[in-house]
Amino acid sequence: MSSKPSSPSRRDFLRQSLVAVPAVSLLGTSAIAQTQSGTTAAPAGTAGSGYSPRYFTAPEWEFLQAAVERLIPANEDGPGAVEAGVPEFLDRQMEAAYGHGSLWYMQGPFVPDAVPTLGYQLRFTPREFYRKGIAAIDGWCQQQHKQNFAALPADQRDAILHQLEKGEIKLDDIPTATFFAQLLTNTKEGYFADPMYGGNKQMAAWKMIGFPGARADYADWIEQPGKVYPFGPVSIEGAKS
């Protein structure tokens, strides 16, 4: 189902994202399962409506906004990650069971370079991993570019994110490809999750792809591929678009 046409690049990204990250129920990642603009990063505190981070420091908050803005930039099809409230989603997860690794097995042995099929093998909880990883990346950016990541132009941020994804940037104790994968996964989660978790403001991501949300009465539309779903989404808490 689709509510309106979207660009091939955005369409492909959303298709791949939804296969890996169902919008309502996520397993083993964030706490959901548990309870191309060229602008610089938005200033701290702009994600969401006056939201102030509870866990992330000001430099960490600026990094997150600058990074997720490049992972899901705004375009004519829909809002970017910052407008959708992804940084707020991430901050709230850091204070939840997910951020503390409360439901994870966190005993050794730890294997930083473990193959992905073995799952998470680091000694850091998610909140520790973000804190340590952001500081290390900002330190690397200071050495290479004399500025923190958030202060760099969009094209440089894109290049650094690509380097992180490929593991080409080497940092002590931080496998950068793993950090990038964690950030990208959590960004997708925040973008598509139910708004009760802080992201997907006004269910904008759901409206963009024609997803009905928590509606219980759309079975008749499942077998009508390509037909526009005529009703807006509904959140778990009952809010309607």
Place of tokens 């294997």: 111
Q: Are 214 and 32 in contact (CB under 8 A)?
A: no
pLDDT on residue 13: 57
**Under-70 pLDDT residues of the chain:** 1-49
| Span between the terminal Cα atoms of the chain, in Å | 17
The residue type of 116 is P
pLDDT on residue 231: 82
Between CA 169 and CA 161 the distance in angstroms is 10
**Widest CA span in the chain:** 57
* 184, two tokens: 């990208």
Which helix (H) or strand (E) covers residue 160, if one does? helix 154-166
pLDDT on residue 121: 82
Return the SS3 of 240. Answer: strand
96 to each of 51, 131, 155, how far by Cα in Å?
17, 15, 33
pLDDT, one tens digit per residue, over 3-55 is 444 445 554 555 555 544 443 333 345 544 444 333 333 333 344 458 999 99
Return the SS3 of 238. Answer: coil
- Give every CB contact of residue 35 below 8 A, 6+ residues apart in sequence: 96, 97
Q: What is the DSSP code (8-state) at residue 43?
A: P
Place of tokens 């132009």: 153
The residue type of 106 is M
Q: What is the DSSP code (8-state) at residue 230?
A: -
pLDDT on residue 187: 96
Between CA 78 and CA 72 the distance in angstroms is 10
- Give every CB contact of residue 2 below 8 A, 6+ residues apart in sequence: 209, 210, 226, 228
pLDDT on residue 69: 96
pLDDT on residue 61: 97
Give the CA dihedral 20, 24, 27, 32, nearest 10 degrees.
130
